[in-house]
Structure 1
Amino acid sequence: MELEDARQDVVVAGTVAGCTIALTLLIRAGVGTDPGALIRASPIGVYAIYLFSRKGTPDLAVDTPRNWAILTVLVTLATLAYAVV
Protein backbone atom coordinates (compact mmCIF):
# COMPACT_ATOMS: atom_id res chain seq x y z
CA MET A 1 0.00 0.00 0.00
CA GLU A 2 1.32 3.37 -0.94
CA LEU A 3 1.16 6.43 1.29
CA GLU A 4 -1.42 8.12 -0.94
CA ASP A 5 -3.72 5.09 -0.75
CA ALA A 6 -3.39 5.06 3.03
CA ARG A 7 -4.25 8.76 3.22
CA GLN A 8 -7.36 8.20 1.09
CA ASP A 9 -8.44 5.30 3.30
CA VAL A 10 -8.00 7.45 6.42
CA VAL A 11 -10.17 10.21 4.95
CA VAL A 12 -13.02 7.83 4.16
CA ALA A 13 -12.64 5.82 7.39
CA GLY A 14 -12.59 9.00 9.49
CA THR A 15 -15.75 10.25 7.82
CA VAL A 16 -17.45 6.89 8.40
CA ALA A 17 -16.42 6.84 12.05
CA GLY A 18 -17.64 10.38 12.65
CA CYS A 19 -20.94 9.74 10.88
CA THR A 20 -21.52 6.50 12.79
CA ILE A 21 -20.99 8.20 16.15
CA ALA A 22 -23.04 11.25 15.18
CA LEU A 23 -25.88 9.09 13.88
CA THR A 24 -26.11 7.13 17.11
CA LEU A 25 -26.02 10.23 19.29
CA LEU A 26 -28.54 12.15 17.20
CA ILE A 27 -31.00 9.27 17.13
CA ARG A 28 -30.71 8.83 20.89
CA ALA A 29 -31.28 12.56 21.39
CA GLY A 30 -34.07 12.85 18.82
CA VAL A 31 -36.03 9.68 19.42
CA GLY A 32 -34.94 8.92 22.94
CA THR A 33 -34.39 5.23 22.31
CA ASP A 34 -31.39 3.11 21.51
CA PRO A 35 -31.20 2.61 17.73
CA GLY A 36 -30.81 -0.89 16.40
CA ALA A 37 -27.45 -2.21 15.29
CA LEU A 38 -28.42 -2.28 11.62
CA ILE A 39 -29.38 1.40 11.65
CA ARG A 40 -26.19 2.37 13.47
CA ALA A 41 -24.09 0.37 10.97
CA SER A 42 -25.40 2.02 7.81
CA PRO A 43 -22.35 4.31 7.37
CA ILE A 44 -20.08 1.30 7.85
CA GLY A 45 -21.81 -0.38 4.92
CA VAL A 46 -20.65 2.46 2.68
CA TYR A 47 -17.08 1.89 3.86
CA ALA A 48 -17.35 -1.82 3.09
CA ILE A 49 -18.48 -1.02 -0.44
CA TYR A 50 -15.62 1.49 -0.73
CA LEU A 51 -13.04 -1.11 0.30
CA PHE A 52 -14.32 -3.94 -1.89
CA SER A 53 -14.97 -1.79 -4.96
CA ARG A 54 -11.36 -0.60 -5.06
CA LYS A 55 -9.91 -4.11 -5.39
CA GLY A 56 -9.12 -4.84 -9.02
CA THR A 57 -11.48 -2.31 -10.60
CA PRO A 58 -10.31 0.44 -12.93
CA ASP A 59 -9.90 3.90 -11.46
CA LEU A 60 -12.79 6.11 -12.45
CA ALA A 61 -12.91 9.90 -12.35
CA VAL A 62 -15.71 9.81 -9.75
CA ASP A 63 -13.89 7.32 -7.50
CA THR A 64 -12.38 9.83 -5.10
CA PRO A 65 -12.26 9.93 -1.30
CA ARG A 66 -14.25 13.17 -1.35
CA ASN A 67 -17.11 11.52 -3.22
CA TRP A 68 -17.11 8.52 -0.87
CA ALA A 69 -17.16 10.89 2.11
CA ILE A 70 -20.10 12.79 0.62
CA LEU A 71 -21.92 9.51 -0.02
CA THR A 72 -21.34 8.51 3.59
CA VAL A 73 -22.81 11.78 4.85
CA LEU A 74 -25.83 11.41 2.55
CA VAL A 75 -26.46 7.84 3.70
CA THR A 76 -26.17 9.00 7.31
CA LEU A 77 -28.68 11.80 6.78
CA ALA A 78 -31.11 9.46 5.02
CA THR A 79 -30.78 6.93 7.84
CA LEU A 80 -31.35 9.66 10.41
CA ALA A 81 -34.49 10.80 8.60
CA TYR A 82 -35.73 7.21 8.45
CA ALA A 83 -35.07 6.59 12.15
CA VAL A 84 -36.68 9.82 13.37
CA VAL A 85 -39.78 9.61 11.17
Structure 2
Amino acid sequence: MESEALPLVGLQTLRVGDCAVVRRVNSPNSNLRRRLLEMGLVTGSKISLVRFAPLGDPLEISLRGYRLSLRKEEASRVLVERIVE
Protein backbone atom coordinates (compact mmCIF):
# COMPACT_ATOMS: atom_id res chain seq x y z
CA MET A 1 0.00 0.00 0.00
CA GLU A 2 1.46 3.36 -0.99
CA SER A 3 1.31 6.14 1.53
CA GLU A 4 0.05 9.44 0.29
CA ALA A 5 1.99 12.57 1.10
CA LEU A 6 0.17 14.69 3.62
CA PRO A 7 -0.50 18.29 2.65
CA LEU A 8 1.88 20.95 3.86
CA VAL A 9 0.51 23.15 6.62
CA GLY A 10 1.80 26.14 8.53
CA LEU A 11 3.60 25.29 11.76
CA GLN A 12 1.09 27.42 13.70
CA THR A 13 -1.73 24.99 12.78
CA LEU A 14 -0.25 22.08 14.74
CA ARG A 15 -1.77 21.01 18.04
CA VAL A 16 0.14 20.48 21.26
CA GLY A 17 1.91 17.13 21.04
CA ASP A 18 1.86 16.97 17.23
CA CYS A 19 5.08 16.04 15.45
CA ALA A 20 6.02 17.22 11.98
CA VAL A 21 8.89 17.53 9.54
CA VAL A 22 9.92 20.91 8.15
CA ARG A 23 9.49 20.93 4.38
CA ARG A 24 9.93 24.60 3.47
CA VAL A 25 10.53 28.06 4.92
CA ASN A 26 8.45 30.39 2.80
CA SER A 27 8.98 34.08 3.55
CA PRO A 28 9.20 37.09 1.25
CA ASN A 29 11.40 38.67 3.91
CA SER A 30 14.90 37.29 3.33
CA ASN A 31 16.07 38.38 6.80
CA LEU A 32 13.26 36.44 8.50
CA ARG A 33 13.88 33.41 6.29
CA ARG A 34 17.60 33.44 7.10
CA ARG A 35 16.88 33.86 10.83
CA LEU A 36 14.48 30.89 10.86
CA LEU A 37 17.01 28.73 9.01
CA GLU A 38 19.79 29.77 11.43
CA MET A 39 17.57 28.72 14.35
CA GLY A 40 17.45 25.19 12.91
CA LEU A 41 14.19 25.23 10.97
CA VAL A 42 15.74 23.60 7.92
CA THR A 43 14.21 21.11 5.51
CA GLY A 44 14.02 17.68 7.10
CA SER A 45 14.14 18.83 10.73
CA LYS A 46 11.73 16.95 12.98
CA ILE A 47 9.80 19.18 15.37
CA SER A 48 7.08 18.82 17.96
CA LEU A 49 4.73 21.45 19.31
CA VAL A 50 5.24 21.75 23.06
CA ARG A 51 2.77 24.46 24.04
CA PHE A 52 1.11 27.76 23.29
CA ALA A 53 1.44 30.80 25.55
CA PRO A 54 -1.69 31.54 27.64
CA LEU A 55 -3.06 33.97 25.05
CA GLY A 56 -2.09 31.69 22.15
CA ASP A 57 0.97 33.58 20.96
CA PRO A 58 3.88 32.75 20.91
CA LEU A 59 4.18 28.99 20.59
CA GLU A 60 6.99 26.73 21.77
CA ILE A 61 8.46 23.92 19.69
CA SER A 62 11.08 21.31 20.36
CA LEU A 63 13.70 20.50 17.75
CA ARG A 64 17.26 19.19 17.65
CA GLY A 65 17.44 18.87 21.44
CA TYR A 66 16.33 22.39 22.36
CA ARG A 67 13.18 24.45 22.63
CA LEU A 68 12.34 27.48 20.56
CA SER A 69 9.58 30.08 20.88
CA LEU A 70 8.12 31.65 17.75
CA ARG A 71 5.38 34.16 17.10
CA LYS A 72 2.45 32.75 15.14
CA GLU A 73 3.30 35.07 12.24
CA GLU A 74 6.82 33.60 12.05
CA ALA A 75 5.53 30.05 12.49
CA SER A 76 3.10 30.53 9.60
CA ARG A 77 6.11 30.89 7.28
CA VAL A 78 7.36 27.41 8.17
CA LEU A 79 5.56 24.76 6.12
CA VAL A 80 5.55 21.32 7.70
CA GLU A 81 4.26 17.84 6.99
CA ARG A 82 2.52 16.22 9.95
CA ILE A 83 3.86 12.87 11.13
CA VAL A 84 1.04 10.41 11.67
CA GLU A 85 2.02 7.82 14.25
Tell me the TM-score normalized by structure 2.
0.25
Greater helix content:
1
Greater strand content:
2
Structure of larger gyration radius: 1
Tell me the TM-score normalized by structure 1.
0.25
